Structure formats: structure tokens, C-alpha cells
Amino acid sequence: SRHLTWSFHTPRVINAEKSEFNEDQAASCQISIRRREPGLEEDEEWLILCSTQFLTGYYWALFDGHGGPDAAIIASNYLHYCIKQKLEEVVGGITGAHPPMHLSGRCVCDSDPQFVEEKHIHAEDLVVGALENAFQECDEVIGQEMEATNQMGGCTALAALYFQGKLYVANAGDSRAILVLKEDIVPMSCEFTPETERQRIQQLAFLFPKLLDSEFTRFEFPRRLKGDDVGQKVLYRDYFMEGWGYKTVEKADLKYPLVHGHGKQARLLGTLAVSRGLGDHQLKVIDTNIEVKPFLSCIPKVNVFDFALHDIKEDDVLIMATDGLWDVLCDKEVAHMVRSFLAENRTDPHRFSELAKCLVYRARGKKRGHQWMLDDSHEASYDDVSVFVIPLHKRDED
Amino acid sequence: SRHLTWSFHTPRVINAEKSEFNEDQAASCQISIRRREPGLEEDEEWLILCSTQFLTGYYWALFDGHGGPDAAIIASNYLHYCIKQKLEEVVGGITGAHPPMHLSGRCVCDSDPQFVEEKHIHAEDLVVGALENAFQECDEVIGQEMEATNQMGGCTALAALYFQGKLYVANAGDSRAILVLKEDIVPMSCEFTPETERQRIQQLAFLFPKLLDSEFTRFEFPRRLKGDDVGQKVLYRDYFMEGWGYKTVEKADLKYPLVHGHGKQARLLGTLAVSRGLGDHQLKVIDTNIEVKPFLSCIPKVNVFDFALHDIKEDDVLIMATDGLWDVLCDKEVAHMVRSFLAENRTDPHRFSELAKCLVYRARGKKRGHQWMLDDSHEASYDDVSVFVIPLHKRDED
């Protein structure tokens, strides 16, 4: 099996001192997963201690906060602990020394042979399940913590875990991770926004109309409707539609749309620009009693990259960044910068952190008068920008 | 614009006389879409008739019935009419002669400029929306019709529409359509089964636990649990998990799972092998009051193929078939048969219908003793098998 050692002054740059307040948070650490001897109960603690072995995971995460930095701070202090816990719960199945019942699904049920199933469950599926459960647990903890201390806010979460020869990227929000390989760019996440999750959000409002408290319409229209549109035919979409249809405007359609706007302007309940993440338990639509949380999901989509299936080259890296980077640079532009920077700086021992800085400064742009501009004289990112550059190549020393 | 004329003794073969009862139905026809002059009201009927122009669509559909043939028969008689109606509702936007308000999304709202949006809505999106709405309307009609006549049953629906230079394939169920092109196989549908839609189905049960009436568990396990599993740790998945975790078995977990089984054996509520389709309004789980319909969706997923972006060759075809074919032949095997059959029978004027027959007979296999066997001595399909072979190449005569 592959041995990687990463230094944990991992190359990352947060925000490049542009704004006074920064709602981005980052975390990275080794995760030691305790592997218990099976069959031992909690009260045999001394035996557990005697027989403990550890597996090592490597973890990096970015949290982009909104409505205050608190949720992002708690998440950056706590998510890796949730992941460690959830991995320990399934580690017996992962290592396979004592695979718990039905990992293979081949267990035959003699009394009821028609129920025997082959589900093709692999160790990888247990790690994915652990990450999904960890995000959910972390969200619960954030909710309790913030209620107890009367704090507000939420955050997106993008977490990468290297474990047992595979890279797992779990994403809930609009940050993005890509692998920049010598010959290829591999997307490791997709963005969850009110626009990309429109159908899920509209369907919830269809199933539970009370959630909108008669203040919003669940229909999508190409623009905000106004009084003289009543009686006209306009384009609309309901929860079950990927295409568009026409409807005759009624008075109820003049309400503010549940999901409104396009691209970076898309908003959920006029309030939030993301549809997945952690926190926001107390968030209400301004001047109403309408809660936003029921429409949010804390569950990440997990993508897996198996190192055994790829020939990793020296300059291959994982790039993780908050939306501030991707708003102004596309995957190809980032990959181009990564490849040319690393090729030009082959001997610099700090080249990965220099590259992270370089990416952040590029997205931040240069100050010209009152505006921050990109090199191509487009407007630069005004958002917080945080970037991880994580080398993938096996290194025996650091 | 492209002109295609299809003969409507379209090459199709149903069931190959294998079973006595056949629950598959097929339909194909031209659809004439009436294009009204805009601004005319219903009561100006004579003016409408004077100014009517028609656009032509070509339609093919397969319906795989279950619990009786009635739903499939109604759908085969009615879905094209729903599609015609829904297309007529949006035809003004499609032809663009008088694009109704906001088709482009560019309409500026002077009073409220921040609400101006660019949604990039194209004519194609209106056809997709029309198909989605047509399936929903057809499902309602089937529900009313079957309640009135006390009929039972449901069906899957796979419909293809050629309209204005594009091929639209709308699928609700486990039939499949692929394009077999000279150099390429293009999937035009994906299957909707209790297994592929597990998360949607489990989530409904999570949101509305009463739908299970305490008779089912929404959790998925690798096999049916039994009494002595209580207290053991077993693998499970909940609605939000793509991965797997462990849970300690409680008594409630011994209930029959909402989604159970793998592959062709997967069942929804122990009752149905598909999760989308038309009908089944009255269907209850045997010996209970639990309704299946709330877990079913009648909404198709629509895939679009733009002829203008491809150089269509003489032997390029659309293959549509019910699951009976795909259970025993994969896309590649079908494509191989299609290409070699058409190359060997270039002059036969009935070669497309001969090919459809050939595919059905291949899936049906040969009778050896009491068993139907494939050429490679695997077991053949015992299901109904229906196949359309639709040539894509432009023909001026037929």
C-alpha cells in the first residue's frame, strides 16, 4: 500500500488580506483511526487500549461562512473529529480482518433463500457513508452549539480525505475541488446552489406548502412578475420540470419566487446563495417567521479517486478553493496556471504554497483606483478567496 | 430545415408470439401541431380555422404494462394526443414568429432592474416542458378512466418525438432507447427502477412515515433481516446515503424493506419492479391499505439529440425496446447486431422491420425442451419483448 506523508503547513492561502472580515476557514490534519479488536465491549477498555492499532487518514477542508464566521469556525474545529468517529465505527469492515456481517452481501439466509442478495458493497462505500454521516453529525453539533451560545450563521463545507490509497472529496456548497494531472483535469465536486438544486427545493415547497407561509411562490419565472402581468401568459417551471411551459399569471404568482435569480445572483428565499452546507439552524427570512433550514441539505456528494488506477506524476495536484476563485477563473485557466507555475519552479521547496498564493492573488486582481481588476481587465473577485494546493505524488520526505 | 418522412408501418415487433398474454403496447403516428395566429381568442373560432398552419412531428412510443394491459392500452391511444395538445400551447414560443413574453428572458423590468434575468431559454426547453406536462396529463386521464371503469394496472412509457430537427426521447420506466450511429452508441434514456430511485423513494417515506403504515422499514439492508439479527450490527443505507454504514438491528428493522432486492429482483413495497410510469392509481400492497402510487413518478426524463450537430449516415438508427430485450442483450451487442444486419441487407426494402424481428427473436431465444435459450446457451428473456427500429437518415421517398 501507498505511503504518503504530507506536511501540515499545507500550502493554503486565505483571503489575501483583501477584506477586513474573512468568513472563510480552513482546516487540515492527520486523522488517526483507532482499530479495535472485534468483540470487545466498551467496559473492557483496558483490553481495547492494549490491542489498539491505528490507520492514518489525511484531511483538508475549506469552509466558506455566511451571516458571520461562527459556523465556519466550529466546523473547522469539529468536522475532522466527526469523520474520525464515523470511520472508527466502520473500520472493521474497511480493513476486512474481521469483516462484519454482510459486507460482501454474500451471507446466505438459509431460512429464506430468495432474499439473498449481492449488493457489491466495498470498503469504499463504507468511507463514503462515514463522510455522509459525519457531515450530518457535524451539522447537529453546530446547531446545538450555536443555539446554546446564541450565535448565527452557516457555512459551506468542502472536505478531502486521503485514506487507504483513495482520495475522497465530500462537498456541500459552492466551493470546488479539481485534480490537475499532467494530461487531464478531473472534477472532484459539483456545486450545490439554489439554481442547481431548484427541483429539490421546489418539490419540498410542493409537499409542504406551509413552509412558504403564503409569502413566496414555488414557481420559477424568467423574471420577477409585476401587477400588469396578471392575465398574461408567461414562461414558468414547476418542481417536476426541466423544460419550460406557459402559465397564465394569477395574483399569487406575483409573490417573491422561492428560488430566484441566475448564476451568482441565484437566491433561496431571497436569502441564501447556497443550498447545502452546515449551520443556519436559526436563519429566518428577514421580517418573517419563514425558516430557511428545511430547504438546506447538510449532506455532501462524495467523489472518489483511486490512486491505484492512475500513474501519478510529480506535478499532479489537488486544488481546493472557495467560490471566490472559481467566480473569476475557470478549471482550464487554473490548470494552465498550475502546470506552468510548477514547471517553472521545479526546485523551489515552497512551490506548492507559492502556487496557492499565486492563485489567490490572481483572483484578487490588482487595485486600480477604487476597483480590483484582473490582468485581462475584467473585474476581480470581491469575495473571500481560499485555496489549497495539495501535491499528490508520493514523497518519502518533506 | 430537415425533411424526414417516415412510413408508419414503422418497423416494430411485439412479443414474438411467445406468451399468450402480452402487456406491451406500441404506438406511432404523425402529430400535426396547429399553429394559431396569436392574439385570437377561443370565440374567434372561424378566424382560427382560416389562419391555421401546421407543424409536423413524428412520434413513436412503447408501453410495458403490468397488472393487466389496460393502462398500456389507454396510454398508447392517448399519450400522443396529450403531446399534441401541450405542444400547441407552446408553439408560439417554439416557432418564434411571435415569441410570447420573456422567451428570451431579456425583457427588462424598468421598475425593478435587479430582477432582470437571462435564463437562456430555448425552443427546445419548451418541447421538453411540453413532454413533461403531457406525461403528467396522460397519467391523470388514465387515473380517471380506470377509476370510472374499475380497471387496474399501470405501464412504463418510452416516447420518442422528432420535431423541428431534433429527436426528443422521454422515458418513465425501465424501457431503453439508444442511437446506433456509424461510429458511436448514444444512450437516449436511463432506467427508473426502485433501485435507481432508492433515495427519492426512501426520502418520501422519511418525510411521510404514515405512507408505510408501520408495515415497512425505509432502511435498505444487504438482505432481509431475521429475528436473531436483533442486536447485531448490519450494513444499512438511509435516504441521504450513497455509501453504507452500520446500525444495530432493532425489532422495527425486521419489517419488510420499502425498497428490496437487487437488479431485476428489486421491488418497491414488495410489489412493483419500476418506479416511474403511468397508471397504478388504485394499486395497493397486497392484504394492506398501503398505496403504491405516492412513491411512483409519472414524470419522464427527456434527452435531446440535435440532428444539426451530427452527420447522420444511411444506417444510423434509433432502437427503442422494452426491458425484455435489454435484460439479455447489452447496448454493445445490440449495436453490433444492428450494424452487421444492416450492412448485410443493404438492398432489402424491409430491412429495418426485418432487423426489429431479428432483435426480438434473438432475445426470445430458441426453445430447447421446456426452456428458451439464447445462442450462447444463457437463458433467454421470458418477458414481453417489443422493439422499434427507426432509421434516422433523410429519405425523400419511402
Q: Which of B89, B124, B240 sits opposite A246 (nearest CB)?
A: B89
The pLDDT value recorded for residue B245 is 92
DSSP structure string for A169-199: EEEESS-EEEEE-SS-EEE------TTTTHH
B101 and A241 in contact by Cβ < 8 A?
no
**Residue B278 half-sphere exposure toward CB, CA atoms < 13 A:** 38
The owner of cell 406548502 is A209
Give the 3-state secondary structure of B276-320: ECEECCCCECCCCCCECHHHCECCCEEEEEEHHHCCCCCCCEEEE
Whole-number Å distance between alpha carbons of B123 and B136: 20
- Please check whether residue A280 lies inside any domain of the structure: no
Task: Encode pLDDT of A353-367 as tens digits.
Answer: 999 999 998 888 777
> Of B51, B119, B182, B216, nearest to A198 (Cα)?
B119
**Cell 408501453 belongs to which residue?**
B63
Q: CA-to-CA distance for A93 and A342, rounded, in angstroms?
A: 39
Over the stretch B82-120, which tens digit does the pLDDT of each residue have? 999 999 988 877 776 544 455 444 444 444 433 434 567
The number of domains in chain B is: 2
Q: Residue type at B337?
A: M
Closest residue, chain B, to A92 (C-alpha): B246
Phi, psi of A55 (to 5 degrees): -110, 150
Question: For the domain that residue B170 is a member of, what is the CATH number?
Answer: 3.60.40.10
Q: Is the CB of residue B135 less than 8 Å from the CB of residue B170?
A: yes
- Tell me which of A231, A256, A273 is where a domain ends: A273
pLDDT value of position B277:
98
Looking at chain B, which residue has its C-alpha nearest residue A127?
A: B243
CA–CA–CA angle B324, B329, B331 (5° rounding): 115
Q: Which residues of B touch A198 (CB under 8 A)?
A: none
Q: Residue A367: left (phi > 0), alpha (psi -120 to 50), or beta?
A: beta
Read off the C-alpha cell for A277: 452546507
d(CA A4, CA A10): 14
**pLDDT at residue B345, rounded to an integer:** 92
Q: Which of A266-270, A301-305, B101-105, B196-200 has the lowest mean pLDDT?
A: B101-105
Q: Closest residue of A to B237, CA-based?
A: A129
Pair (B169, B217) in one structural domain: no
**Residues B129 and B90 both lie in one domain:** yes
- Pairs across A and B, CB distance < 8 A: 163
d(CA A74, CA A329): 29
**Nearest C-alpha in B relative to A124:** B243
pLDDT score recorded for residue A42: 54
B217 contacts on A by Cβ (under 8 Å):
none
Q: What are residue B62's phi and psi, to 5 degrees?
A: -120, 140
| Shared-domain flag, residues A202 and A186 | no
Residue B70's Cα: distance from chain center in Å? 17
CA separation for the pair B195, B187 (Å, rounded): 19
Confidence check: pLDDT of A380 > 80: no
Give the integer Cα–Cα distance in Å for B389 and B327.
Answer: 18
User: Would A333 be classed as within a structural domain?
Assistant: yes
- Give pLDDT tens digits for A123-157: 899 999 999 999 999 999 999 999 999 999 999 99
Within this chain, do residues B228 and B340 fall inside the same structural domain, yes or no? no
- Pairwise CA distance, residues B340 & A268, whole Å: 53
- Domain end among A222, A256, A273: A273
Q: Which of A117, A240, A297 sits opposite B223 (nearest CB)?
A: A117
**What are the chain A neighbours of B299 within 8 Å (beta carbons)?**
240
Instruction: Name the residue of chain A whose CA is nearest to B124's CA.
Output: A243
Please write the tens of the pLDDT for every residue from A319-371.
Answer: 999 999 999 999 999 999 999 999 999 888 899 999 999 999 888 877 777 77
When CB atoms are compared, the residue of B101, B102, B244 closest to A125 is B244
pLDDT reported for residue B215: 95
Coil, helix or strand for B189? coil
**Residues whose CB falls within 8 Å of the CB of residue B197, separated by 6 or more in sequence, listed in order:** B275, B276, B297
What ranges in chain B are assigned the alpha helix state H? 45-50, 70-95, 123-149, 198-207, 323-326, 331-344, 351-364
Q: Which pLDDT does position B195 carry in this prediction?
A: 95
d(CA B393, CA A295): 47
Could you tell me the pTM of the whole model?
A: 0.89
Collect all residues with Cβ–Cβ distance below 8 Å to B80 and sequence separation of at least 6: B27, B29, B31, B59, B61
Asked if residue B381 belongs to a domain, the reply is yes
- Find, among A125, A239, A247, the residue nearest to B200 by Cα: A239
Looking at the fold, whether B308 and B178 belong to one and the same domain comes out as: yes
Looking at residue A110, its pLDDT comes to 45
Query: Which one of A125, A130, A223 has the shortest CB-CB distance to B107?
Result: A223
Do residues B214 and B186 share a domain?
A: no
Give the one of A102, A242, A262 whose C-beta lies nearest to B118's C-beta. A262
What pLDDT sits at residue B311?
A: 93
Calculate the CA dihedral of residues A72, A78, A84, A87 and round it to 10 degrees: -60
**Cβ contacts (< 8 Å) between A242 and chain B: which residues?**
125, 128-129, 132, 301-302
SS3 B98: coil
Residues of B in contact with A222 (CB under 8 A): 102, 105, 107, 117, 119, 121
User: Which cell numbers in the block locate residue A161?
Assistant: 480525505
Signed CA dihedral, A264, A270, A276, A277: sign only: positive
* A61 and A166 housed in the same domain: yes
Give how far B108 is from chain A: nearest CA, Å: 9
Q: Please report whether residue B14 resides in a domain.
A: no
Question: What torsion, rounded to 10 degrees, do the Cα atoms B341, B347, B352, B357 define?
Answer: -60
Residues A266 and A327 in one domain: no
In a domain, B294, yes or no: no
In angstroms, the CA B223 to CA B221 distance is 5
Interchain pair B222, A302: CB under 8 A: no
CA atoms of A64 and A49, how far apart (whole Å): 38
A223/chain B closest Cα distance in angstroms = 6
Residue of chain A with shortest Cα separation from B256: A115
- Which residues of chain A lie closer than 8 angstroms to B89, CB-CB? 245-246
Mean per-residue pLDDT over chain A, rounded? 85
Low-confidence ranges of chain B (pLDDT < 50): 1-5, 8-9, 16-20, 98-100, 103-117, 396-398
For chain A, the distance separating the N- and C-terminal CA atoms, rounded to the nearest angstrom, is 19
What's the gap in Å between the CA of A12 and the closest CA on chain B? 30
Whether residue B102 is found in the same domain as residue B185: yes
Radius of gyration from C-alpha coordinates of chain A: 24
Are residues A303 and A262 part of one domain?
Answer: no
| pLDDT at site B50 | 59
| pLDDT at residue A232, rounded to an integer | 84
Collect all residues of chain B within an 8 Å Cβ-Cβ radius of residue A110.
none
Give the chain A residue whose CA is nearest to the CA of B260. A115
pLDDT (0 to 100) of residue A385: 87
Domain-embedded: residue A158: yes
Q: CB atoms < 10 A from the CB of A269, how many?
A: 26
Q: What angle do CA B330, B334, B340 make, to 5 degrees?
A: 145
Q: How far apart are the C-alpha atoms of B234 and B249, rounded to whole Å?
A: 7
Boundary of a domain, candidates A257, A273, A289? A273
**Domain span at A375:** 24-41+50-106+119-190+299-391
Contacts of A121 in chain B (CB under 8 A): 222, 235, 244
The C-alpha atoms of residue B2 and residue A286 are separated, in whole angstroms, by: 53
Regarding whether B167 and B29 lie in a shared domain, the answer is: yes
**How would you classify the pairing of strands A216-217 and A256-257?**
parallel
Distance from CA of B111 to the nearest CA of A (A): 9
Which cell is B48 given? Answer: 382560427
Residues B244 and B373 reside in one and the same domain: no
Strand pairing partners for A55?
A33
Q: At what angle do helices B123-149 and B70-95 cross, to 10 degrees?
A: 150
Q: What is the pLDDT of residues A164-209, one digit of tens each?
A: 999 999 999 999 999 999 999 999 999 999 999 999 999 999 999 9
Q: Note whether B380 and B364 are within 8 A (CB).
A: yes
Among B135, B190, B239, B244, the residue to mutate for chain A (most A Cβ within 10 A) = B244
| DSSP letters spanning A238-265 | -TT-SS-EEEE--GGGGSEESEE-SGGG
Q: Is residue B123 a part of any domain in this protein?
A: yes
Residue B18 located in a structural domain? no
pLDDT at B2: 37
